[in-house]
A and B are shown apart, each in its own frame.
Chain A
Amino acid sequence: MRDRVNQLPPDAPMDYRARMAILRERKLEDTQDKLRELGPVNSDDHGTIAPPPAFDEAFRNAIYSNHPNGSWYGYDGYSENFYRLMDLYPAFIDPCDAFPCREMAYLGSFRPQRGFLPEAPYDHLKPTQEQYDIVHGIGAQQHFGIDYTIGLTLGWGGLLEKIDAYQRRNPGHDDFYDAEVKTIRGVQQWMKHTLEAIDAALTRETHPVLIGNLKQMRECTEHLLDGVPRTLREACNWICWFKMASRTYNGDGAGGQLDELLRPYYEADLASGRVTRDEAVFYISCLLLSDPHYYQVGGLTADGRDMITYFSYMVLEAADWLDSSCNITVRVHEGMDRAFLKKSVEYLFKNKNGWPRFSGDDALTEGFMRLGYPKELAVKRVAVGCHWMSLPGLEYTLNDCVKTNNTRIFEVALNEMRHDGQPPSVERLWDIFTQHTQRCVEATAEGIRFHLKNQWRNSPELALNLLSHGPIEKGLDMSGGGAEYYNMCIDGTGIATVADSFAALEQRVEREGRLSWAQVYAALDSDFGGPNGEYIRRMLAESNRYGGGGTAADHWAERISLHFTECVTAQSDGELKFVPGWFSWSNTIPMGKAVGATPNGRKAHAPISHGANPHPGFRRDGALTAMSNAICAIQPGYGNTAPIQLELDPGMARGDEAVLKIVDYIRAIMKQGATLLNINIIDAGKILEADKNPALYPDLVVRVTGFTAYFCMLTKEFRQLVVERILKAS
């Protein structure tokens, strides 16, 4: 944790842009510190900084255990340890920043035993989970959206009053309510320590502008200890406090509809002359600097009004000031303002940081309504995660936590066909594959049901419960009955690997007769070794591919997705719904490791395909339209996503006309049912150089999967995935 107080001469230029430039440079320094002290990580940047060396040991010595195995569980264990961590949490002050503190630790990483509550074993589920390499999500936390308006309306003080009122009404839930109170008290304790740190900074800082800022920072923090945010600065700061706390508690990264959340505060400030436009942009920029939470701008209201306003432009401008890792999603719909979309694309190409992303309002809304929800509710689902939407504060989802390894399912099916004594055929393989897919999905759903029954006493959602509609009112955790809706995400993965494998067998074995089944089996067993191994591998890999445009593999992908969708939705039972999507997140590597060689020419244990994308090199001209059409065609269509991930050359958007072509491409794919679009703008030469020596490119940001990260912070293995995608696309 670097000392940022009194580091600049008193006459240094200090307007808002200059301050953000300083903060950006400091963020790069902090990133290098993290890399040095904590090593690479394959996840979001999170805006964390490395804590002082003594903190780790201090908290380990303070850990409260409520279980014989030395770990902690449930309301009591989590609230007590969160309080203790907050009490010891360092208060970081940067006088250039509008807001104090940074996130520095994850509570869960200190747990002496990280497994699920021993009193709730799920050994009976493990054989099937292991057979299919299911990412089961049991014990997973957060990954649903919260409603920031609850916190902005009540403040910490109001939340305490709300808890008190409902605790009186709901006898028998004292453990829950006491834990929620302790959680808030923990945050307040951190804020009190922060006040002391600001006072100390004030005694040292000599720059007049920064002294003024520190005084405002103090006033703001003191008011927010109990009070309700009144101004834009206070609103942004309250969000910062909550998200730093919730991120520390269990890694929560869900933001909200940022433009509409903050606009009323700005307008009130503006009307009373409390803020300038630049100052407001600076506050938003500091909020984004604090943590690249997932925020959305734009979208539709229930009555069909486009939510894009001048303030939406200000949010993008704030991200442009920051020019760093950011997770803002622009929600695209048929009638949206084309000028705003153009501005978004301009920022995407200007900063080359992978933001904004674009979500497809129309397909998402229509899909969610297919689950039986009214349009009024469906339009409120905001883009607040790697690949996911959530109803703020209403919905428990386990989004992005539960995944089936469909390539493994394919492998199991192929092995079964080999050994069952029947004549092999692609159609028989399909039949067996569908049976195993169904079994795998049933086992996955069973795991989710187990989680919903037991998670509250394992790792409750004490932070996110506070900004949800239901938990406080009912005295129940979001994971265990507190939420209004349970729409449980099950994502399929590796659709390209599986579709290409089916298509390759169909083409090379059955249609062309170039290979026999025995030759295919031998090639897979030897991982394409032996005298003809590489030849056979190339032959299979050169078969028609998913993403090619009307290819057999495209049709296989549609068939696979349709069947998977039927399997997942069939698990729904009353109020408990299961929602399919296609997204691997960063599981492409571990899931690939769990599977041997596949008939698409993929070597044993190599990564599976990424998200809903085709394998790189899917088509000679790499046509985005062909790839996009293929991905649009495999959308499950129930309100969750199967994203399109693009790697574009920076030269593609030279000039206004070229930018408009990208805008029109986005409009066209959304009209065809696309749900989410992630774009990297990266020069292939630059990424190759950066891969050789990442430290020389400390500010290179890439959108890895759903999240953005500094390239230098990724492991070699993960960098390789990104590099391969970008090189093949170029």
Chain B
Amino acid sequence: MGIVTEIQRFSLNDGPGIRTTVFLKGCDMRCAWCHNPETCEPSRQMMIYPERCIGCNACVRLDETKARSGLPPPRESLQLDDADGCFSGALRVVGQEMAASAVMEEIIQDCAYYEASGGGVTISGGEAMTQPAFVKELLTLCREHGVQGAVETNLAYTFDRLAELAGLLDLVMADVKIFDPASHRRWTGVGNERILENVKSLRTLNIPVILRTPVIPGVNDNNDEIIAISRYIADNVPNLMYYELLNFNPLGDSKYRALGLDNPFAQMRPLSAEDIERLADAARSCGIPVRVG
């Protein structure tokens, strides 16, 4: 069994062709700018949207001590099961335990689109490789059904975990978030030494690789960072399909609030189109194909 945050079909931004992206729950990094905070914790979580509450009290019906009028009870008094009777969208449990075969049932509904477009499945996160056995099982099923498989990963683990999947993967998408090790540790909670070593090892998989950098204002939105990453890629990843710069995504704020978390990047805005293109040009100057996502 795996714990799945969401299955998103008709995904156009997670690899070649039309894809289904399976977002697994749990991540071993804590990127300060993360726009999917609901995927970080490996366990199921309650998301609360008070503005959607219709005051039906269905969530407190069995326990009058929780009763309040017109708003969901405080987070600390809620159990995950309390969301079961909520149909307003005020309470939502994120994360679902699923068998790989159940995920596959959803995936195969779009085989016609994968076939027409050269697409397939991308297993993402959180960090996909925090659930390696489930990923392997799912990729094996994909292979059996003739569906191309990819993982989107942060490479912050021993490389043999990924190498074990080599025969099941058609593509790897990986992040190189920050080149400076201290800065990487500061912003993500994890150093990048192993990640950079693993980037070098990607060539051994003999499959196409897409490398990506989320461009975060005040963190890595400068030529020095982007050029350092680009040079490293140019020197070490001969099987690179392309390098992609992903503009900062500000849409996670409501999810932070729903999880009862502070969003340190709440006030941050994405780079202008001109600025991100300028960085893309800097990356291109290192001789690698570059896209802006």
The chain A residues found within 8 Å of chain B, CB to CB, are 532, 534-535, 538-539, 541-542, 549-550, 620-621, 623-626, 629, 652, 655, 657-658, 660-661, 664-665, 667-669, 671-672
Contacts and interface: CB of A to CB of B under 8 A. Distances in A.
B116 interface: yes
A539 B84 CA distance: 11
Contacts of B118: 664
B88 interface: yes
B29 interface: no
Contact of A671 (B12, B16, B54, B112): B112
B115 interface: yes
B17 A549 contact: no
B116 A668 contact: yes
Contact of B17 (A550, A623, A664, A672): A664
A549 B117 contact: no
Interface of B: 6-10, 12, 16-18, 54, 56, 58, 87-88, 105-106, 109-110, 112-113, 115-119, 291
B183 to A, nearest CB: 30
Contacts of B6: 620-621
Contact of A535 (B56, B112, B117, B291): B56
Given A549-B109, A550-B105, A625-B18, A538 B88 contact: yes
A699 to B, nearest CB: 24
13 contacts: A534-B56, A535-B58, A539-B87, A549-B109, A621-B8, A623-B8, A625-B10, A626-B9, A629-B109, A655-B291, A661-B119, A667-B116, A668-B113
Given A625-B109, A664-B116, A534 B12 contact: no
- List 7 tightest A-B contacts by C-beta distance, closest first: A664-B117, A623-B9, A538-B87, A668-B116, A535-B56, A664-B116, A542-B87
A532 B17 CA distance: 46
Q: Which among A541, A623, A657, A671 has the highest number of chain B CB atoms within 10 Å? A: A623
Given A620-B6, A625-B18, A665 B113 contact: yes
A549 B10 CA distance: 12
Contact of B113 (A541, A625, A658): A625
Contacts of A549: 9, 106, 109
Contacts of B109: 549-550, 625-626, 629
A629 B115 CA distance: 15
Given A667-B116, A672-B112, 17 more contacts: A535-B87, A542-B87, A549-B106, A550-B106, A621-B8, A621-B9, A624-B10, A625-B10, A626-B9, A629-B109, A655-B291, A657-B16, A661-B12, A661-B17, A661-B18, A664-B116, A665-B18
Nearest to B110: A625
Contacts of A672: 112
B56 A664 contact: no
B88 A668 contact: no
A658 B12 contact: yes
A661 B16 CA distance: 9
Contacts of A665: 10, 18, 113, 116-117
Contacts of B106: 549-550
A550 B106 CA distance: 8
A674 to B, nearest CB: 11
A545 to B, nearest CB: 13
Nearest to B7: A621
A485 B122 CA distance: 51
A538 B116 contact: no
A536 B58 CA distance: 11
A532 B117 contact: no
A482 B226 CA distance: 73
B54 A668 contact: no
Contacts of A623: 8-10
Chain A CB within 10 Å, residue with most, of B8, B16, B18, B106: B18
B12 A652 contact: yes
B54 A535 contact: yes
Contacts of A667: 116
A532 B57 CA distance: 10
A538 B9 contact: no
A664 B110 CA distance: 12
B9 A664 contact: no
A626, A629, A664: which has the most chain B beta carbons within 10 Å? Answer: A664
B56 A532 contact: yes
B68 to A, nearest CB: 16
Contacts of B87: 535, 538-539, 541-542
A304 B119 CA distance: 29
Contacts of A624: 10
For B16, B113, B117, which residue has the most chain A Cβ atoms within 10 angstroms?
A: B113
A96 B12 CA distance: 44
Contacts of B112: 668-669, 671-672
Contact of B117 (A538, A541, A629, A661): A661
Contacts of A542: 87
A671 B116 CA distance: 9
A550 B102 CA distance: 12
Name, among A534, A660, A668, the residue most crowded by chain B CB atoms within 10 Å (CB to CB): A668
Contacts of B8: 621, 623
Nearest to A621: B8
A669 B113 CA distance: 8
Nearest to A540: B87
A624 B117 CA distance: 15
A667 B114 CA distance: 11
A92 B112 CA distance: 52
B270 to A, nearest CB: 13
Contacts of B54: 534-535, 538
Nearest to A619: B9
A652 B12 CA distance: 8
A519 B190 CA distance: 55
B45 to A, nearest CB: 16
A641 B63 CA distance: 53
B147 to A, nearest CB: 13
Nearest to A670: B116
Contacts of A621: 6-10
A256 B228 CA distance: 59
A362 to B, nearest CB: 13
B288 to A, nearest CB: 17
B105 A664 contact: no
A362 B119 CA distance: 24
A542 B56 CA distance: 15
Contacts of A626: 9-10, 109-110
Most buried by B among A624, A626, A665: A665
Contacts of A629: 109-110
A664 B12 contact: no
A623 B19 CA distance: 11
A539 B58 CA distance: 11
Contacts of A534: 54, 56
A264 B6 CA distance: 55
A667 B117 CA distance: 9
Contacts of B16: 657
Contacts of B117: 660-661, 664-665, 668
A532 B54 CA distance: 10
Nearest to B56: A535
Contacts of B291: 655
B148 to A, nearest CB: 14
A532 to B, nearest CB: 7
A535 B55 CA distance: 9
A620 B88 CA distance: 14
Contacts of B88: 535, 538
A675 to B, nearest CB: 16
B54 to A, nearest CB: 5
A666 B106 CA distance: 20
Q: Which of A535, A542, A629, A671 has the most chain B CB atoms closer than 10 A to its own CB? A: A535
A542 B87 CA distance: 6
Nearest to B114: A668
